[in-house]
Structure 1
Amino acid sequence: MNLRNILVPIGLVVLMIAAYRSASWPGVAAVAGGIIMWGLLHFTRLMSIMKKASNRPIGYVGSAVMLNVKLRPKVALVHVIAMTRSLGLRLSEEGQSPEIYRWTDGTNSSVTCEFVNGRLMKWELQRPQQTDDAALSAPDTSTQTPT
């Protein structure tokens, strides 16, 4: 079980008790207003992230390589959705842990992310294999000398 699910409500109750002891009911009203404002800010942020994600195809990202660079361990799924501005393509079964999502860009490069309890644990960048035709048509800059 996530310890945060226990500590946050206990902390809020302790804060309300401290507000009552220091300023009676006006203190409780002030702290309750702050808690409600905090909740509304998080709700507004979540809704704006989801609104932006609804405008893109599921599992699409502008650049999988740039997403791979920006990812860090223990980042929340909501933050990854905010970075990609797209919902990931679910590869795991509904309700199964770990949750596995994939984001793919226009060059068929993709990042597969594994989330445990809503936090990023590991990810992998997959890039398509270059064919020999593409390698031959690209100019070789390693042998050129500046003029």
Structure 2
Amino acid sequence: MNFRKYLIPIGIACLFIASYNAWGWQGPITVLGGVVMWGLLHYTRMMNVMQKANKSPIGYVGSAVMLNAKLRPGVNLLHVVAMTRSLGELLTPEGTDPERYRWTDGTRSFVDVEFVNGRVTKWELTRPQQPEDHASERPTDAISPTQS
């Protein structure tokens, strides 16, 4: 169960009560100012991330390998979008949980990321098969120095 949606409002309410007990009406007004400031900072960060993501194609990342190295369990979707500077390509039907997104780079490598309740749970890097290089193999019809 997602306790954050309950703990944060309860924590803010406790902060209001404690500030009223300590400083009267000035305390809750100060706490309200802090909560509004936090909300504005969060909103500004979210808008900056979305403006940067708007400039990239959906599902594109500079390096899928680097994204794979930077991902950690529990990171939220906004943080992943900030890392990739792109919205992911949605692979699951809209509104289902877990959600799966894909980010692909220029070498056709891609990372599929699964989000449960908006947080990374698992991810998988897939790299395309490279054609075998036959130029590095030895020719089989070469004459050895012992033959003559």
Report the Cα offset of residue 136 of structure 1.
3.8
1:52 maps to what in 2? 52
Runs of 4+ in structure 1 over 3 Å off: none
SS in 1 for 2:101: strand
What aligned pairs does 1:131-142 form with structure 2 within 5 A after superposition? 131-132=131-132, 135-136=133-134
Distance 1:19 1:102 in 2: 46
Q: Does 1:105 align with 2:105?
A: yes
1:141 maps to what in 2? none
Report the Cα offset of residue 26 of structure 1.
1.1
1:3 maps to what in 2? 3
Normalising by structure 1, what TM-score? 0.89
SS in 2 for 1:61: coil
Aligned amino acid, residue 19 of structure 1: S
Question: How many positions carry a matched residue from both structures?
Answer: 136
Name structure 1 gaps, 5 residues minimum: 139-147
Aligned amino acid, residue 96 of structure 2: Q
What aligned pairs does 1:1-147 form with structure 2 within 5 A after superposition? 1-132=1-132, 135-136=133-134
Distance 1:83 1:72 in 2: 12
Distance 2:74 2:6 in 1: 19
2:145 maps to what in 1? none
Distance 1:59 1:111 in 2: 10
Q: Deviations over 1:58-81 (max 9, x none)?
A: 000000001000011111111100
SS in 1 for 2:24: helix
Normalising by structure 2, what TM-score? 0.89
Q: Deviations over 1:69-101 (max 9, x none)?
A: 001111111110000000000000010111000
Distance 1:137 1:17, change over 3 A: farther
Aligned amino acid, residue 23 of structure 1: W
Q: Using the TM superposition, name which of 15-24 and 84-93 deviates more.
A: 15-24
Distance 2:71 2:85 in 1: 14
Q: Deviations over 1:81-126 (max 9, x none)?
A: 0000000000000101110000000000000000000010100001
1:144 maps to what in 2? none
Distance 1:21 1:118 in 2: 37
Distance 1:137 1:107 in 2: 22
Q: Deviations over 1:18-77 (max 9, x none)?
A: 111111111111111011101111111011000000000000000000100001111111
Q: Percent identity?
A: 61
Aligned amino acid, residue 7 of structure 2: L
SS in 2 for 1:62: coil
